[in-house]
Amino acid sequence: MMATHVDTAGLKGELRIDEPMSKHTSWRVGGPADNYYLPQDLDDATNFLARLPDDMPVYWIGLGSNLLVRDGGIRGAVIATSGLLNKMNMIDENTLRAEAGVSSAKVARFSVEHDLTGGEFLAGIPGTIGGALAMNAGAFGGETWNVVYAVDVITKKGTIKQRMASEFDVGYRYVKTFGNEWFAAGYFRLERDNKVDGKSLIKKLLNKRGQSQPTQLPNAGSVFKNPKGDYSARLIEASGLKGTSIGGASVSDMHANFIINNGNAMASDIENLINEVQLQVKKQQDISLEPEVRIIGEIQ
């Protein structure tokens, strides 16, 4: 299929044609995106969206964690947010607003610097606010939407509007969004408490993560959602799958719910390993594991 490229004349951002997605995913795999756009700001992103043909698929990417892009790449348009849609400010004494490209860890640090507590868990989410909002990301027992007051959404037509958190159906690693809308920013309402040492708490949480997760190797965070009343890591380990490899991808010896790229993995190796883990856990534990990672793009 012939790629359609977008006319960006007059826009402020940068369009890259056939951009390798392996440069932009935490697994370090993925084929080329037909149109990879780096907006200068939120207004520029809306103008870019307004240029797109109605039938063109659109994907948003932050730090590329929790995402597997297949080796055949992405047809359509990818909008990059990390380090670009990065405005963050206090709205009132309990509420901060962060755009989609701000890292979750940065929001955690910003909140404690302003004597707010309740957002420290965000330091353990290895992605941006856009991704955290889209999947109700969580860490250390906290979940993103527990502290969301409202969001700004951006539509396929290139308009921005505010929606209240109560308008969304939210669950464990799940958010039902409105069609052809994406999260542009989140409003986080936190508790004011200058007696809580948030910086020490964040440090403690990150040390805990570093000791239990393979943070030094290319990975995408937790691969599978935890089934009700159990843990995917326990089920995978109990099935004897720690260390199992396909091509350059392996189930981590350190944490069974992580798949690592040993340096030469293809996206197909990772996807095949995901399928194999599901197959074996179903066979041995009679439990169907549901992927937490999002898989997009074309098979090569």
Residue 231: exposed, middle, or buried by beta-carbon count in 10 A (0-12, 13-18, 19+)?
middle
Distance of CA 220 to CAs 19, 154, 298, Å? 20, 26, 19
Give 14-80's CATH code, choosing from 1.20.1290.10, 3.30.43.10, 3.40.640.10, 3.40.50.300: 3.30.43.10
Q: Is 173 a catalytic residue?
A: yes
Q: Is 294 a catalytic residue?
A: no
pLDDT (tens digit, 9 = 90+) per residue, 81-128?
998 999 999 999 999 999 999 999 999 999 999 999 899 899 988 899
Q: Which CATH architecture is the domain 214-296 placed in?
A: Alpha-Beta Complex (3.90)
Q: Is 222 a catalytic residue?
A: yes
Give the bridge partners for 148, in sequence order: 188
Tell me if residue 214 falls in helix, strand or coil.
coil
In angstroms and rounded to an integer, the radius of gyration of the C-alpha atoms of the chain is 19
The catalytically annotated residue of 28, 70, 97, 173 is: 173
Delimit the domains of the chain by residue range.
Answer: 14-80, 88-199, 214-296
The catalytically annotated residue of 26, 111, 222, 252 is: 222
pLDDT at 1 over 80: no
Strand ranges in 10-70 using DSSP code E only, listed in sequence order:
14-20, 32-38, 58-61, 67-69
Look up the pTM and report it: 0.92
CATH 3.40.462.10 is the classification of domain 88-199: no
If one counts every other C-beta atom within 10 angstroms of the C-beta of residue 169, the result is 8
Which pLDDT score is estimated for 210? 66
